[in-house]
Amino acid sequence: MLRRAALRVTRPRVAVLSAVHAHPHADTDAIIRAVRRELPEVSHQAVYDALRALTEAELVRRIQPSGSVARYESRVRDNHHHVVCRACGRIADVDCAVGEAPCLTASDDHGFSIDEAEVIYWGRCPDCSDTGNLRPS
């Protein structure tokens, strides 16, 4: 994967890439901890650098719902969206509702050339609905 993206293959990058595959929607700190289970000596900077390189190469996708730190996932180039729980922050994937790349149509684009439409659905996850957990809001 890395080679195909013209990225040098290093231990930290391999470990970061598989950590993202293993833990979808994990934040940077969780990824650092996961990576260190295999490579105890990696610096946090190496992980930040790897995540940036992988994101720019579009091998991983970075998402950051309001009020959250950056999170990463391996599903990429497939135009999917996310549901986020207002109470516990849990994130789940949602396939685009209307087909191919439909949301890419704004009513008035103000002259912008748009290349992506990102959708975040906000609500409560089943657990927080059931338990009446109201935290954050």
Q: Which is nearer to DNA, 69 or 92 (CB)?
A: 69
Q: Which is nearer to DNA, 45 or 107 (CB)?
A: 45
The distance of closest approach from Cβ of residue 123 to DNA in the complex, given in angstroms and rounded to an integer, is 21
| Per-residue binder mask for DNA (CB under 7 A), 51-90, x = binder | -xx----------x----xx--------------------
Q: Which is nearer to its own copies, 45 or 66 (CB)?
A: 66
By the 8 A CB rule, do 85 and 25 touch? no
71-73 β-sheet, strand order: 26-27, 71-73, 61-63
* 7 lines the binding site for DNA (CB under 7 A): yes
* 42 lines the binding site for DNA (CB under 7 A): yes
The Cα–Cα gap between 47 and 69 comes to 15
* 18 lines the binding site for DNA (CB under 7 A): no
Backbone angles phi, psi at 66, to 5 degrees: -45, 135
By the 8 A CB rule, do 82 and 44 touch? no
What does the longest C-alpha to C-alpha distance in the chain come to?
A: 51
Binding at 92: pick from its own copies, DNA, none (beta carbon under 5-8 Å per type) = its own copies
By the 8 A CB rule, do 112 and 105 touch? no
Binding at 43: pick from DNA, its own copies, none (beta carbon under 5-8 Å per type) = DNA
Cα 8–27–125 angle (5° rounding)? 140
Residues that bind DNA (CB under 7 A): 3, 7-13, 27-29, 39, 41-46, 48-50, 52-53, 64, 69-70
